[in-house]
Structure 1
Amino acid sequence: MTLLQLRPEQQRRLFLVASGVSTAGSFAGITAKGWILMDGSSQPIVLALNFAALSLPTLLISGPAGVRTDRVGCERVLVQSQWALLAAAGLGALAIPLLDGLAQVLLLLGSTLLVGIAGAYELTARNKYCSILVDGPEQLGSYLTSFSVVFNVGKLVGPPIGGWLLAMTGPAWALGIDAASYLLPIASVLFLLNPDSSREQRSAPGQTASLVSAWRGCGSTLQGVLSFTAVLCLVGFFHPGLAPLIADRVLGSDPRDLGLFTSVLAAGSITGGIVLQKNSSRFSRRPFLTLGGFGLITAIAQLGMAMTPGVGFSLSMAFLIGAGTAGLLSSCNLITQIGSEQVMRGRMAGLSQIAFLGGGGISGLVVALLVMVKDLSTAFALSGGLSVAIALIWMRRRGNRVLEPIRSA
């Protein structure tokens, strides 16, 4: 049921704005939850477990999520997953007034786990939903990268909101806003958006609809893109989970310090997303140079963080980490979507999530253990050095590969 007859371009803008508001609320909640866990335990491993609970479900869930998206339709899966996100985030908000101590920590981690599961379905469905909102395949790359920019704007404004709410009203408000923010995209999809669903290609039941079939059918170039992204994230994508710890060492323990630090990361992410958006067609044609270039930016910034000469320099390195990782993740998503057939785009989105979020969850746990044994500077130095070597090797071996976009909606 559509309440308003919006023009196609208005529908696309509305979906971007609704998703951005939801993202801002989510990152306000993530900031609050990270600070609560850091303040209550002072253990890096607890922060890593929280990020792992958010990201590691992708290893098991993204495959079935992609298969279901391609099988039953992206709009149906999108709405169902958004309702699930609302319920899971609401559970975290209830943990603050109802529980304390270990029980509160466990419920917060459980809430994060459920958000991670629902989020895997939401991200796969949303990617394919974008392909039926645009007027033609030539618009898909630009729209997907615009989505990345709006997402990172939400990351920019969300953490300060979360930090100020923590300081002024307490964590329950921040987590409550996180839950309520999912209502806007739900209402938009149900009542205001009217995509051309006739253009969606659904897979038939059987072996051809499996995740393995998508992997085999996507071709060696996209397989390499997914593998390269997974390796880089396994080594160096730990900063989202350990942001409260890094902010504490760089700035201080006040929740507003965490809000500032994550905002600098988000500002870098916006910059990386804009660079990719402006060059989406050209960058996607040379996938390994693009991924390797963004990986090098992240790696060099991590080596800079290992030096820790001062607050200003560390924040500038955090900005570059945000730009590099956002460019890496958005490039992987962009390249795998425009380079694959419409019928398998849900599954390709699932494979992309496995590559970057699964690798990031494991990376966070490894680095947290390293910080407990050694220190944060050592972790940054090892991660940055390995990432530089990996990026240069892949760029040297596969940098001349060219990807031709699939010319179908």
Structure 2
Amino acid sequence: MTAPAAAATAVPTPLRVPAFRRFLLANLVSATGSAMAPLALAYAVLGQGGGAGSLGVVLATNSVPTIVFTLAGGVLADRFSRSRILFLGNLLAGLAQGALAMLVATHHATTASIAGCGFASGVAAAFTAPAAAGVVGQLVPADQLLRANALVRLPNNAVKVLGPVAAGLIVAMGGPGWALSWDALSFLVASLLLLGLRLDAPVARAGGALADLRAGWAGFRSRVWLWTYTAAGTVVVAAWLAGYQLLGPLVTAEHYSGARSWGLVQGAFASGLLAGTVLCLRWKPYRLLAVAVATGAGLCLPLAALALGLGLPWVMAAAALAGIGLDVAVVAWNTALQQHVPQGEMGRMSAFNGVGERLAIPLGYLITALAAHAWAGRTVLLVCAGVIAVTTLLNLCVRDVYRVNRR
């Protein structure tokens, strides 16, 4: 146990732990910039003459490193100080976004240069995500993990409601360069806050990185609940993103009022995420993994509502319920992982899970796009909703799901 976690023993709330408050503040600061970045990035690409193809290249370049380098990030997170990894990752992301903001503000941005900065940001995310997964367990005692995970999610979800609106105003008044500058500054401030955590490495390791990776894979395969949840997540995440991000805007453009309706649906989903976080601050489910699996099934609701042509208020209600379920699932899953995986393996187990859930996303986009050319968008949306529901039911049939409970 590290010094901060030892000092936190028997505390009534994670907020009494100074190191956790510092970590929480760093998350809040970086979240304000991250919530503005997608809109600013889109308008930066459009502003230099790019279209949908250019934006697709930029988004792909940003996402590829999170698949390629996450396993390496997981190995490092189990060998070195996670607070130092988070500091360096946020610093790299801040420098990359700062360079992008300067290129955009001086009108020297091209698709290639924007994609290059996005690649650097993706590399930073690949190394910080596994480290962040294990930090909370080093900062607070086991009986406070559920509440601590909810508190970590709270600032991220709160700014998701207001961040895009603020970004739209900033881009409209001053251009995307200003929003990207704030994103860069938020990462740099967060890196300075994280520098003060000074957490020790989880365990002393004598073998090499490849030996750690092989041992991590063996540990991942030996935990049936972990690899079955990851396998189900591979399907659910791909079906959700393909249905929501790809077909959602198209269906609302054809059958609703277009961007206005889609904006309301996204706002309802973000509000649901925030409500889910508030719920997790009070609710402490015992069957952590079963709750994570079951509540994740709520993602099929807005897809089904759009597919069935329900009125916009019903679609918004379905999106809000999906947001609530998703956030409960994330908090319950993070807590289950932290309580049932030793600290010395957390980085690698989180990395294998993260890579597994992302692997099928590009294929899901491709299959869904091809299917939308052959069938109506609503029909494909209904299929995506059905895939999520069936996969969830199959995962709930795994016996080990009911053995990973709150300690």
Same fold (TM over 0.5): yes
What is residue 223 of structure 1 aligned with on the other side? 227
> Residues of 2 paired with 1:33 and 1:244: CA distance?
20
Q: CA RMSD in A?
A: 3.3
Q: Does 1:55 align with 2:60?
A: no
27, 30, 36: which one aligns with 1:22: 30
Q: What is the Cα deviation at residue 89 of structure 1?
A: 1.7
> Residues of 1 paired with 2:71 and 2:389: CA distance?
30
Q: What is the Cα deviation at residue 262 of structure 1?
A: 4.0
What is residue 3 of structure 1 aligned with on the other side? none
> Residues of 2 paired with 1:182 and 1:354: CA distance?
24
Change (3 A) 1:12 1:30: same
Q: Deviations over 1:180-230 (max 9, x none)?
A: 111221121224x455x38x3243323785234223224222222222222
Change (3 A) 1:387 1:319: same
AA partner of residue 164 (structure 2): P
Mapped contact 2:243–2:384 kept (Cα < 8 A): no
Q: Deviations over 1:18-72 (max 9, x none)?
A: 21221121110112223555786563x6555544434342322110001011112
What is residue 236 of structure 2 aligned with on the other side? 232
> Residues of 2 paired with 1:46 and 1:239: CA distance?
21
AA partner of residue 192 (structure 2): A
What is residue 387 of structure 2 aligned with on the other side? 386
What is residue 313 of structure 1 aligned with on the other side? 314
Mapped contact 2:36–2:167 kept (Cα < 8 A): yes
Mapped contact 2:44–2:177 kept (Cα < 8 A): no
AA partner of residue 111 (structure 1): C
Mapped contact 1:38–1:244 kept (Cα < 8 A): no
> Residues of 2 paired with 1:216 and 1:58: CA distance?
22
AA partner of residue 205 (structure 1): G
AA partner of residue 151 (structure 2): S
Unaligned runs of 5+ in 2: 1-7, 9-14
Change (3 A) 1:364 1:152: farther
> Residues of 1 paired with 2:44 and 2:264: CA distance?
17
Change (3 A) 1:333 1:268: same
Q: What is the Cα deviation at residue 122 of structure 1?
A: 1.2
What is residue 3 of structure 2 aligned with on the other side? none
Mapped contact 1:55–1:360 kept (Cα < 8 A): no
Q: What is the Cα deviation at residue 84 of structure 1?
A: 0.9
Q: Deviations over 1:149-175 (max 9, x none)?
A: 322223222211112212222211111
> Residues of 1 paired with 2:281 and 2:93: CA distance?
28
Q: What is the Cα deviation at residue 81 of structure 1?
A: 0.7
> Residues of 2 paired with 1:49 and 1:283: CA distance?
41
What is residue 11 of structure 1 aligned with on the other side? 19
> Residues of 2 paired with 1:259 and 1:404: CA distance?
37
SS at match of 2:295: helix
Q: Does 1:73 align with 2:81?
A: yes
Q: Deviations over 1:329-369 (max 9, x none)?
A: 44443322221011011112212321334444543454455
AA partner of residue 118 (structure 2): T
Q: What is the Cα deviation at residue 387 of structure 1?
A: 1.1
Same amino acid, percent of matched pairs? 23
160, 166, 175: which one aligns with 2:165: 160
Change (3 A) 1:208 1:108: closer
What is residue 401 of structure 1 aligned with on the other side? 402
1:196-215 equivalences under 5 Å are 197=200, 200-206=202-208, 210-215=212-217
> Residues of 2 paired with 1:375 and 1:33: CA distance?
30
What is residue 172 of structure 1 aligned with on the other side? 177
> Residues of 2 paired with 1:26 and 1:244: CA distance?
22
> Residues of 1 paired with 2:17 and 2:334: CA distance?
22
SS at match of 2:402: coil
What is residue 286 of structure 2 aligned with on the other side? 282
What is residue 12 of structure 2 aligned with on the other side? none
Mapped contact 1:207–1:213 kept (Cα < 8 A): no
TM-score (norm 1): 0.82
Name whichever of 298-307 and 371-380 sits farther off. Answer: 371-380
Aligned length: 389
> Residues of 1 paired with 2:264 and 2:176: CA distance?
17
Q: Deviations over 1:213-257 (max 9, x none)?
A: 223224222222222222211222347854994697355458xx8
Change (3 A) 1:336 1:240: farther
Mapped contact 2:338–2:346 kept (Cα < 8 A): yes
AA partner of residue 64 (structure 1): A
Mapped contact 1:28–1:158 kept (Cα < 8 A): yes
Name whichever of 201-210 and 381-390 sits farther off. Answer: 201-210
What is residue 344 of structure 1 aligned with on the other side? 345
Change (3 A) 1:35 1:266: farther
Q: What is the Cα deviation at residue 324 of structure 1?
A: 3.6
Q: What is the Cα deviation at residue 73 of structure 1?
A: 1.9
Change (3 A) 1:65 1:317: same
> Residues of 1 paired with 2:84 and 2:368: CA distance?
38
What is residue 292 of structure 1 aligned with on the other side? 293
What is residue 188 of structure 1 aligned with on the other side? 193
AA partner of residue 53 (structure 1): T
